Structure 1
């Protein structure tokens, strides 16, 4: 993620502010060892258990774990006729996962004869993340994907004036939250995640509208499980999943505990939610 997106060196649009040149195609691949044991469990069985995993970074994609075939329980796999072709890796063959009476189609793939430029993929297999019931990095369960050693999440307190505004289709503006000025309850935090725009996290008491629970949940391997809330604006406007927070963030993101952030951009009803920081787009 850190290498292949945005301004990363393996991005198709890598920055020109460098004193070197990368000799390669716009679509780049890089593989390196993953430093810890990884396990995947499906149907109560260990599908994958490896200390020899590797991460393959591919332009514009999240890194994917590839492991030696010997580290996968092939007794849980059944043949599939499905195949795909990647111009950067070659032809892929697939196998399906069978546990008990349940079969999940085409969840494990390999490149039996990868193209010469990716010959190092020979003998390695990959598993779709959602095919397993649980993944473990050493003994800690992880969600969404493995963490990328080239990605950082930095959280810093900021003496900045942060304003969250909702603009209705008719131009009516409503301040949803405001932090970092006299009268606000605390200090905003800025969260910088490699390759992504800054996110601002504000004290809950600085939200000026009513928040109501939403059923939406998302998971981040760097921050934990996010819980979303709807914003209720008078007289009868509801902004679905407008705010989110991490009730129990992972230790490395503990500083955002008790703070809320906001979903910005255009909404389905034609309205927009924006963040300004010291009067500038944030």
Structure 2
């Protein structure tokens, strides 16, 4: 019987997972080294969407001070907005101390025997590099792809009957486990763009700035200076399909209603 690969991966979502990486991983704090490892692991706690780094004890350059862990939120999806200090697997939490600098509950040692001798670190608490390049937002998932493809589909974007954008030259982004996104040329945005102060980071695409409109805040985003792998997206505009009505080649698309889609809508402040 043939198996759907995506379904099989989702069946693992609720368990503790890890994958070795050959990348040279370093973490810094105020210009000083906290972690320096050539034997790191990527670790996904149960229900965590994105991975974080775990390194062998000998690769830790800071003091680990045991503390009581935060309680598990029991949320069905632990998205990046839920702090690292919230854990969904048994283990020991630590404050990370480097001289006078302390990052509270920024390290965690899972009880799982397959991860014995490793410590997981809070990505947001430190400055990280893979080899000699900085990493944004969270480690890249080796099982995820981001493919941008030029298209001639006719894409129309509306909200509450107001036309926001219309294009015959979109770029479609296919990202593993996520809803396809249509990135449109800026000149195909028809509604007046209003200022937004929101900025987010993606480890695959770079830093995104957001666009608001009279009919809603932070409905769209753009990568003005994307990372090299996402260079085809420079200056293009994508909309939250969760909050707008998208018609492709005359066929209305259903708004995403998965748990992950709801998390994204809430996390990014779409209104």
Return the TM-score normalized by structure 2.
0.79
Instruction: Supply the RMSD in Å over aligned alpha carbons.
Output: 2.4
Query: What are structure 1's unaligned runs of at least 5 residues?
Result: 1-5, 13-24, 168-172, 181-186, 232-236, 267-272
Query: Does 2:9 correspond to 1:10?
Result: yes
Cα distance in 1 for partners of 2:7, 2:130 equals: 25
Secondary structure of the corresponding residue to residue 10 of structure 1: helix
Secondary structure of the corresponding residue to residue 252 of structure 1: helix
TM-superposed deviation, 1:64: 2.6
Cα distance in 2 for partners of 1:260, 1:103 equals: 40
Aligned twin of 1:259: 236
Cα distance in 2 for partners of 1:156, 1:63 equals: 26
Secondary structure of the corresponding residue to residue 10 of structure 2: coil
Secondary structure of the corresponding residue to residue 212 of structure 1: coil
Q: 1:83 touches 1:91 (CA, 8 Å); kept in 2? A: no
Q: 1:83 touches 1:92 (CA, 8 Å); kept in 2? A: no
Kindly provide the CA deviation profile for residues 12-45 of structure 1, in whole angstroms up to 9, marking residues without a partner as x.
3xxxxxxxxxxxx883343221120011111321
Aligned twin of 1:166: 159
Find the structure with the greater CA-based Rg: 1
Cα distance in 2 for partners of 1:259, 1:123 equals: 45
Query: What are structure 2's unaligned runs of at least 5 residues?
Result: 73-86, 254-271
Cα distance in 2 for partners of 1:70, 1:43 equals: 21
Change (3 A) 1:203 1:66: same
Which one of 240, 244, 254 corresponds to residue 221 of structure 2?
244
Whichever structure has more helix as a proportion of its residues is: 2
Query: Does 2:172 correspond to 1:190?
Result: yes
Cα distance in 2 for partners of 1:156, 1:189 equals: 5
Whichever structure has more strand as a proportion of its residues is: 1
Change (3 A) 1:258 1:91: closer
